[in-house]
Structure formats: C-alpha cells, structure tokens
Structure 1
Amino acid sequence: MKFREGPKMRFAFILLLSILAIPADAQTGWKTVNPEIQSIVDSVSKESLESMLRQLEAFETRNTMSDQTSPRTGIGAARQWIYDQFKSFSPRLEVSFDTHQIPKGGRIYHDVELRNVIAVLPGSDPIGKNRRFIISGHYDSISETSYTAGSRSETKAPGVNDDGSGTAAVLEAARILSKFEFPHTLVFVAFAGEEQGLIGSGRLAKRAKDEHWMIDGVLNNDIVGNSIGGSGKNHNQTLRVFSEEPNDSPSRQIARYVKEAGERYTPAVNVDLIFRHDRFARGGDHISFNRVGFPAVRITVAEENYSRQHTMDDTLEGIDLNYLSRAVRINVAALASLAKAPSAPKLGALGRQPSGYDANLKWEPAEGNPGGYVVVMRKTTSPLWEKELYVGNVLQFVLKDVSIDEWVFGVRTIGKDGSESLTSVWTTSAAPEARTIQ
C-alpha cells in the first residue's frame, strides 16, 4: 500500500495495516506529475497576457453603463472583442452571449443590456461531460468618480488589474485548454455588471440552478495582477484563495484541491487558503454561485493595492506580468486536473466497529472504472489534509485504534491514470447526512 503525508506537513505517522493489492497503473501514477498537464501549465505565455491586457486597457472604460455601440471604446467594444478572442482559439469552443435586460435601480442608473461572454469546451465522456468546471473573471470596470451620475459612465476606467487581470486569465486558460480534450466540460466566463452588485454572475448562477446544471466547481479570478501590495511589500510568490464556511464545505474542498494541484505543477508558488467567503465586508462573482448552492472560490492577490482598484490609475504599469503568469498556471493546473479527474465516491457509514475504538469507513463505488481509492484524514483543528493512504480498489477500510472523534476523514477516487477526484468528507456518523462532493 502507499502512504503519503499531506502538503507542507512534516511529521511521522505510523499505521499497521494488512497489505492490499494495488493496481500498478494507479499506484505509480498517484501523486506524480502528469506530463500533459505540465505541458498545459508550461504553455502559459506572459506575452499573450500582456497583449490581452493592452487591448482591454485600450477600450478606455468598460463600465457597464458605458457606450455599447462604439467599435473602439466602451463595454460594447470590449465584449465583442472577448467574444472574438474565444472564437479564434478553437472551433471546439461553443461561444455565446448570455444577455439580460437590467432595469434602472440601485447602481444601475438607467435601463441597460448586460452581456456575459461564455465559451464552453464540451467534455468527451458521454456521462462525464455533464459535470462542469467554470473559470471566471469580470470584464466590466469602474472608476471611483463614476458610481452615481450617468454623465460619468464614460470616465476613463482602464480596469487593468480590476478585473482585466482576471479576464485575461480566463482568456489565456481558454486559449491553452481548448487545444486539449477532457472527459468533463470546461466553461470560460467573462462577467459584466460585477461592479454594480454581481449582476451578471447572479443572473448566470440563477440560470444554472434553474436549468439544473451540474457545476462541480467555480474558480473566480478577481484581481490577480499586482504582486506589490498597498503596504509596499512584494508578494510575488503567493496567491490567496477564499472559500465559504463550513470547514468541510464543497467550496473548501475546491480550495484545497486548487492548492494541491497548483503547487504540484507550480511549486514556486504558495497558495494561501483563507477560510472566509471573501475579503472582509466585500464580495466577488463566486458568491453568486455560493448563494444558490454551487461550490465556488475566489482566487486573488496576496495583498491588495487600493490605488490600483476603481481608479483611472489602474493601468498596465501596475501589473506584474510574471506574477499574473503564475496565477494563470495555478488556475490551469487545477482546471486540467479537475477536468481529467474521476467522480468522487458517495459516502456510506462512518463508525467505530469492530472494536468500538477503530475508524470504520465505507463508501459506494465511483462512476466508471476507478483505479482505487485514497483515504485522507486530518485533526479537527487542522486546515489541510495531513495523511493520505492509498487503500486499493475497495469500498471499506478500517483504521485500527484511530478515534473518529478526533479526526476528520475523507475519501477520493483515483483514476487509472493516477488522477484524483475531489474529496468526499464524512461530517456526521450517519450516511444520509454525510457531505459528498460529486
């Protein structure tokens, strides 16, 4: 059998367990670097990102209330350019506008047409293609002088960092990933109306819920371009990922997955997990999906610089292109890993049998033909999985003399190629109440 410590954990752990037969392909592939995913990560281009940001800046403003008819400036020109970029990447991308008529009210000071720009890379597996993973950013921008009066909607709002950086991340991910085939469906979205109250993402999240989309995760990129924070400190090796409570929520499992996959393929970057739905008293488009029950996280810089947000000074000169490239690498590593991964197992019972002092874990078989399963565990006070144990292609496992009162347990499916699913986590002792990521 195969045992590994969790990421960044360095302490001894000994379990005496009977030897299980482990499929050679799953055993050798588990936790190794997948060459195809590494090639995807290595394809991220700083030059491509710079070119995208220059064009986004050239629209002068992308305010949701700005001109929709000019071919050169305003949000209308910006969304058409994003649409055309998606179309140019691959004929396999299904590109569309998600259009909504928004009436006057709140920060919308006149009736306006709002368009999200969506590109879908359909999955290749007849069943797996129903599972969707979304990467998003918002392409609208705003200047602090343009919140109220309609006459100010044309005020320059270059929005290169907020959130041209996230939009460029989405475009670059689409450019690269659309060249590959994955079992599951990837969705690339540039939202509008974020600065007026998460309007575009709110409308798409509602549509997804109403149409019963199976969204297994949303990676929302909002402000991923500045390595120098407002304090003047350089954080060029660190990204933050925000996720909603509770500690074993589906969103938090996505965050842990982003950290594990991202750091595996981009080891120079530290993915710092922030266990809060977003920055204090603030929000982003991932929250729209959280509100209707979908797992979603925010990926953002290690320290914000408010001089590069909602101002006319949010220009390309405030962007660290090397840092932005690292952020995109983290994204595509996680997305490609998720898009290749098998489904997570559904949980059975968690009990203390046979001795009354053991941890007895049961689960149901995952879809398809899995290579095996990995049991993960951590102390109740630990943020990250501390122990990982490959247990073979079985549906029950007993950890001798391990208290279920002191540990949190989860199980993952391992594909024949060594790919790992999201984690299904036992949160109670009763199977019907167990929390499962599928």
Structure 2
Amino acid sequence: MTPRSTRRTFLTATTALGAAVIAGGAVPAGAAELGDRGPGGPVRPQQPDQELRAILRELDERRIEAIVRQLASFGTRHTASSQTDPNRGIGAARDWLFGQFQQIAATSGGRMTVELQTYVQPPADRIPVPTTITNVVATLRGATDPTRVYVVSGHYDSRCTDVLDFTSDAPGADDDATGVAVAMELARLFATRPPAATVVFTAVAGEEQGLYGSRFQSKQYKAAGTDVQAMFTNDIIGASRADDGTHDPFAIRLFAEGVPTAETPAEASLRRSIGGENDSPPRQLARFVRSVAANEATGMDVRIVYRRDRYLRGGDHIGYLEQGYPAARFTEPHENYAHQHQNVRVENGLQFGDLPEFCDFAFTARVGRVNAAALWSLASAPGTPKGAQLRTAVLANDSDLLWDAVPGAVGYEVLWRETTAPDWTHVIDVGTALAAKVNLSKDNVFFGVRAVGPNGHRSPVAFPSPTN
C-alpha cells in the first residue's frame, strides 16, 4: 500500500487515443477522508460572474409585485373563462401578457421574438367542451449557440375550489401569478444581454385543467427536434409562511425526478443493472442549480427534493419530462392550503382564497434570483456533454470514459463520488481530451463528465452509459 505521505495524483495526455490518464493512491481500510480515496480535487460551487451579479442586483421586487397584482385584477383566469372580455378572464390576461412581453422584446435589439402559441383542446378530462388554449412565448435567441435552448415557465391560468367553475373569482396570486412574474422579470433582465444559448420565457395556460398548455408546447419542441437542455417551471413561489405558521423565507424547493418519466423498458433494464436512479438528467440539473444558485448573491438555499412533484400534485415540467427533456419544478418550502384552489371567502374569521396580500414578494424576488443564477449560468456555459459512455467490455480495476466534443468548450472535467454520496465530491481536469482513464473501479463509484467554457463556466454533469 502506498504510504500516505507519498500518495499523489497525476495526469498525463496519451496522444494515441487523445485521452487523459488519471491515477491516485489507495488509503488504509477505514480511512474517513473522502479526499484521500482517489484522484482529483474537491468539487466547489461556481461563483456568480460580474454580469450575473449585475442581473441579481437589478431584479426588481416591485415589478414582480406589480405583475402579480395586475394578473389577480382580472378576477378569474380560469382556462374556460372569457377569451374576449377586455377586463375579466383569461383572454384579458393573455392580451396583457403578450403586450408586456412585446415591450420587453423591443429592448432586445431584435434578438427576442414574442408569439401566441394557440391550439384548440378537444373535450378531455376537466375540459368539457372544445377550448382554445394559448401560451405566451418570448424567445431570446442565443448569441453564439442558438440551437441550444433553456425554458423558464409559469402558468397564468387559475382556479377556485371547483376545478370546472370558470365564473367565480380565482385571483391566482401565488398559484401562479408569481411564477409568471418571475419569468417576465427575467425576460426583462436578459433581453438587453447576450447569453450564448437561447432562453425561452413563457406563460402557459391549461395547467389547472391538466397541464395542457405545457404539454402542447413541449410536444412542439420535440417535433421540431429542439435541443431543450433544461426546463424550469415556477409554480407556487409566492409565500414563505405555511398555514401552521412555519416560516422559511430563505429556501426554495426544487423537485427533480430520479427514474425518468420517458424511460423505455430497455433503458430501465440497463439502469437496474448499473444503478443510476439518482443520476437522471433532472437530478444532474438540480445539482447544477444548487451549485450556482445557493449562495450569498441570491440569499437562498436550494432544497433539492428527490421526487417528480408533491403527493397528488403535478406541474408543467411533467410535459417536458414526458418528451425526454430535463425539467424540474420550483415551489415554496411550506404551502398554505387556505390560499390554494379555494373560493375567496371568510369562514370562522379565516380568509380563504389566493389573494396578493398573502404573498411575500421579497421571497418571490429571491426565488427569481435563484432562477436567474441557474439560467444565466446554463446559457453562458457550454452545453451538457452528449455521448458520455463508460467502457465495460473488459473486467478491470480502472475505468475508461469517453464523450463527444461540445461546441464552445475549451476543456472537460471528470467527476466522481461514492455511490452513497448525494452530490459530486471529486473533480479531475482532463484538459481538451475526449476520453479519460481513471484509476478507480467503476464498480465502486459513480462517474460524470462536464464541459468547461472559456469564461470558466461549467455545464451540468452528464452521467455515462455503459458501452463495449
């Protein structure tokens, strides 16, 4: 066994294969320090760059509050409410959102376009008659890698106690004017800046009736072959105090599924044989968000929840998951159910209804900063590596990884962790190589690969598939 004082980590490039060879010494049985168990250094959070810090400073709580109050003023935004009344109903909200996004697009120098994405939903669950559903979509074209796309969403429809009641007041402040407000405020902040990749800011409809608008939207992207590398829905991000008085104004939940919704039987069989149920693209996305957005610049902690969503609930990220896109949901840490899916009323001195006065707009602004940090960091970094593979044809105590080149990347890093660790612990710089041999058994640890840009931004991690 190598004495502890002489253990070392080294890296050399092998010109024949264009690979990096990484070796590390072993440790005595029972050693506790993760840093002593193999090659590489510790994984550290990515700090906000100067442009991102400016975005976070400029995010305006007052604008978010004004958007929420304006949306609540339409009375109801039920999907089946009036499409033509200029003052009340989902049509009035749609037209106002479209106008606001157009004003933002006018500041982008032609890089942002706004459209109404409309279709007629035939009768279905919670849709008793054919109903027009319209998503408002603002697309900010990337400066250098426009085919790579990131989506941030909130739903602008609302509901009261009876999901089919489209006439009663349903102000929908927290659920989900707050999510729409964050998407719109991020559009304003990003419009005058040139992210490398394309970012889509969208307000979708039909969520309360069955995720109809987002499902339609994700299918359109899939049919067009769009490379959506991440989607976030912000749904119920407006309150920091629960009905039992629990108060947590400096944390946000991020729901990220493990077993992929769109997994095929063959993929399921492969996953069961190697593990990986904690390494789905949404889980890697969630780890990325925490690494770039849980810091002093946002003032927030990101609490990753290993679930697709809460019990008995669902959100607009599910439609994207169904199409095989990485997607996750932001939701406040403690919900107040007196202010969700309730008719506006007072019972026994308790006010029910989703009213703006129950929102904590400072909290929503901080959630907006988490979103901004995640989206800016994603759109400024190279894309997630594709084609990541781990060779398994030969029994060996070292591990061979390979991956495809990523446009805009100036280097790559191999990450690894113990199988019981929730997040990546070790990182190895392999330079520009597209393959690496690591002196660790693939049977004992998990590996991942990420790309590095010229500005130091790192991509999310790609989990390798086994190959011969």
Same fold (TM over 0.5): yes
Matched, 1:137 2:175: no
Whether the 8 Å contact between 1:90 and 1:179 is mirrored in structure 2 is no
Residue identity in the other structure for 2:63: S
* Equivalent residues in 2 for 1:73-222, closer than 5 Å: 73-91=88-106, 92-125=111-144, 128-145=145-162, 147-148=163-164, 152-222=165-235
Matched, 1:272 2:273: no
Separation (CA, whole Å) in 2 of partners of 1:105 and 1:366: 42
Whether the 8 Å contact between 1:372 and 1:391 is mirrored in structure 2 is yes
* Matched positions, count: 407
Moved more, 263-272 or 95-104: 263-272
Matched, 1:66 2:81: yes
Separation (CA, whole Å) in 2 of partners of 1:165 and 1:30: 28
Residue identity in the other structure for 1:404: K
Separation (CA, whole Å) in 1 of partners of 2:205 and 2:411: 42
Partner SS state of residue 97, structure 1:
strand
> So what's the TM-score if we normalise by structure 2?
0.82
Structure 2 partner of 1:41? 56
Residues 332-355 of structure 1 show CA distances to partners (whole Å, capped at 9, x for unaligned) of 110011111112333455358999
Separation (CA, whole Å) in 1 of partners of 2:82 and 2:365: 31
Whether the 8 Å contact between 1:221 and 1:298 is mirrored in structure 2 is yes
Distance 1:243 1:30, change over 3 A: closer
Partner SS state of residue 419, structure 1:
coil
2:396 to 349, 353, 356: 356
Separation (CA, whole Å) in 1 of partners of 2:358 and 2:122: 35
Q: CA shift at 1:209, angstroms?
A: 1.4
Whether the 8 Å contact between 1:261 and 1:334 is mirrored in structure 2 is yes
2:332 to 283, 287, 301: 301
Residues 402-421 of structure 1 show CA distances to partners (whole Å, capped at 9, x for unaligned) of 22112111011111110111
Separation (CA, whole Å) in 2 of partners of 1:416 and 1:271: 27
Whether the 8 Å contact between 1:265 and 1:330 is mirrored in structure 2 is no
Separation (CA, whole Å) in 1 of partners of 2:296 and 2:115: 31
Residues 42-76 of structure 1 show CA distances to partners (whole Å, capped at 9, x for unaligned) of 21111111111110111111111111111111111
Separation (CA, whole Å) in 1 of partners of 2:388 and 2:211: 38
Moved more, 379-388 or 116-125: 379-388
Structure 1 partner of 2:244? 231
Residue identity in the other structure for 2:36: I
Moved more, 103-112 or 234-243: 103-112
Distance 1:348 1:193, change over 3 A: closer
Partner SS state of residue 36, structure 2:
coil
Separation (CA, whole Å) in 1 of partners of 2:129 and 2:326: 33
Structure 1 partner of 2:271? none
Partner SS state of residue 241, structure 2:
coil
Partner SS state of residue 236, structure 1:
coil
Matched, 1:411 2:440: no
Whether the 8 Å contact between 2:142 and 2:199 is mirrored in structure 1 is yes
Give 1 or 2 for the bigger CA radius of gyration: 2
Structure 1 partner of 2:5? none
Q: Which runs of 5+ in 2 are unaligned?
A: 1-9, 12-31, 260-277, 345-352
Matched, 1:314 2:351: no
Distance 1:348 1:306, change over 3 A: closer
Identity of aligned residues (%): 36
Matched, 1:250 2:288: no
